Amino acid sequence: MEGNPFTQFVFQIFLFCAIVIIGYTCNFYYLAFLSSRRKDENSVSEIGEPTITIQLPIYNEKYVATRLVDAVCAQDYPKEKLRIMVLDDSDDDTVNMMHQTVLKYQSQGFDISHVRRGTRAGYKAGALKHAMKSTTSDFVAIFDADFIPPKWYLKKAIPHFTNSKIGLVQCRWGHVNQNYSALTQAQALNLDFHFLVEQKAKSNSHLFMNFNGTAGIWRKECIDDAGGWHTATLVEDLDLSYRAQMKGWRCLFLPDIVVDAELPVQMNGAKRQQFRWAKGSIQCAIKLLGDILLKRKIAFDAKLQAFIQLTRHIVFPLMLIQFITLPILLASEINLYIVSFLPALTLATYLAMGPGAYLLVINKMYKNNWKSHAKALPYLLVYSIGMSVNNTVAVFDGAIGKKNEFLRTPKYGIIKNDDDWRGKAYNLPFTKTTLLELFFAVYGILGIFIAIFSNNPIFAPIIGLQAVGFFYIAWLSFSHTRYKRPKFSDHTITKDEKMANHFYKLALGGIFAIIVIGAYMAFVGYSTDVYPLDMSVGLLDRTMASADPQSILVDLQAIKGHLPVNGNPVWIFPTDTTNFARIQTDLNVMIVSAEKITAVPTDSAAYHTGITDIRERANVLQENLADAIPYMYVSFSNIIFSSIWIAALLAIFAVLNKKKQQMKEYDFSKDV
């Protein structure tokens, strides 16, 4: 590979990211193969009706909590063997609702209690840990607030504990609102990949699988033996299940027992959920990987798969690095084609490794019904790409050990397609991450122009898909934001809140205007600063291939007009090779040479010597311009403009954040 040290370094980074991403992708296809193998059925027999405690950890879930308790109390299981614990850490209407609901079922003879700790210490893990102190049953079932277990759930799941070494039975999540929007369809397909590929493959083998935090049943002895619930990470479910398997317990996935649940319908809620999962996985990797890798009784492939599962979210920062470096490499004329003389093969390879292979997996997952599910694949691709910024921040948060509050994913009781969530409580505002998503979206537009004008249009769709993903996530983050904050059911929207909502809409308009201006300035900057250099590189190509002095003169004069008269784009440690004044001088010499050989016979030695000299000089100038082009993007003026652009976005965000804090203070003053 040719190029200056900077482009060589960037290329090595790009190549490293590509290799790691391909490795994680191929591992997913390996798990898809494992999941498709036939497995000896887990022995199932009647084990009677053991005692079971159903624990329901909830926090501010007034739209779905009652539905959950109703479904749990409808279980076809003897009341005398069933205990229900509503672990309620709420501080809104949910508390009164649960109090009344628990009293109702107590009057019907259910052993149900409303557990109030008076603190949120440890969050969900803390609530479960507190509940275990008074749990004496043989088994513990756990459901999050948005789940709706069918009445036959316990009767079908409990018999799978025939083997005394099975410590956990995890059931598959269903989706009551899968077709509510493109967002819910993307999430549903993503979760099905997890359950029907990853969980099924690991359950079919001796690989470690994880508890998904809900829709599962634990053997109490297993929880105790593994050390109980820990509060050090944001994914207490993954943490406990791995510690249990390190102790020799088995985990079993039951794909045929489906528990319906509600998918997040607000983008900011979906981002919060993804953030928690990504950060928690990295936290668990830091906490557990050392012990897993050193434990002799764990097979090598199980260690490898544990490493991959706990670290798989590093793919997201690697995707961002690739996205940033690709336009730089294209502008530097680095050959990125898999086969240099067949550029289309590059795009075909991307399609085969990505959407093509995923379609095969979908076909295996859903059999005859695969086509209806395959329609959600484009949504999932856009969603996953756009979510890479959010998850990258989560990875770095987890890696540096930053402590975060366990932020629940709000649910609104959305089941039918015409159900609305926008006027309800718990709506989340966009975060600073959204501004980063906007930055990458605009950068993607610039990358598309670079791909086209650098004669690499085959990469334009690849960059374009990523830019669409960032725009999609950012746009929904903004459009799904509401300033209405009805914390209690009797709350009416005040004049201050209405003004805040109007202010928010104006601020959104300002952000949109800044984005448009930034995109326009980026286009103008490219067309005036970078594109003339790309044009000059192309003309120098033609100069090196030409033997006609007159056409060479025309091209050289055009190049002189395209290039700056003086200056050096390398403003830190500049060299003479990228000095435009020197390049203009060389062009003048080449023009004089071309003028001289116009009067020389074409079959003379002087003619051939002159043409050879011009071609050699053109080759050198082309290399000089290739070195200069990357620095045109990071010119001093571009850095200043980008800083002002980012500062303007941050300023509007800061004002919005201040307004949000004012509304919180207003809410608090009213509550007091």
Q: Write out the catalytic residue numbers.
A: 89, 237
> Chain-centre distance of CA 424, in angstroms?
26
What is the distance between the alpha carbons of residues 277 and 403, in angstroms, rounded to a whole number? 14
Bridge partners, residue 251, by sequence: 168
Backbone φ and ψ of 205, nearest 5°: -135, -165
From the list 563, 614, 569, the residue with the least C-alpha distance to 4 is 569
The number of residues making up the chain comes to 672
**Contact residues for 595 (Cβ-Cβ < 8 A; gap 6+):** 549, 553
Nearest Cα neighbor of 518 from 452, 448, 460, 445 is 445
Q: In what order do the strands lie in the sheet with 166-175?
A: 111-115, 82-88, 52-58, 139-142, 216-219, 166-175, 250-261, 147-148
Residue with structure tokens 């709350």?
491
Of 136, 165, 141, 138, nearest to 153 by C-alpha is 141
Give φ, ψ of 82 to 5 degrees. -120, 130
Task: Indicate the burial class of 323 (C-beta count within 10 angstroms; 0-12, 13-18, 19 or more).
Answer: buried
H helices within 454-573, ranges in order? 460-479, 495-525, 531-545, 549-562
Q: Quickly tell me which residue has 């067949």 as its tokens.
A: 342
Cα–Cα distance measured from residue 484 to residue 360, given in angstroms and rounded to the nearest whole number? 44
Do the Cβ atoms of 407 and 433 come closer than 8 Å?
no
The rounded distance, in Å, linking the Cα atoms of 385 and 473 is 9
Closest CA to 414 of 192, 171, 181, 193: 181
**Distance from first CA to last CA of the chain, Å, rounded?**
68
Give the side-chain half-sphere CA count within 13 A for 393.
17
For 297, other C-beta atoms within 10 Å of its C-beta total 7
Give which of 64, 89, 54 is closest to 410, Cα–Cα: 64
- Interacting residues of 463 by C-beta distance below 8 A, sequence separation 6+: 323, 326, 327, 444, 447, 448, 451
Taking residue 420's Cβ as centre, other Cβ atoms within 10 Å add up to 10
Q: How many CB atoms lie within 10 A of CB 566?
A: 11
Tell me the three state secondary structure of residue 574.
coil
The tokens 């628990």 sit on which residue?
A: 102
The amino acid sitting at 474 is A
Tokens standing for residue 267: 């983008």
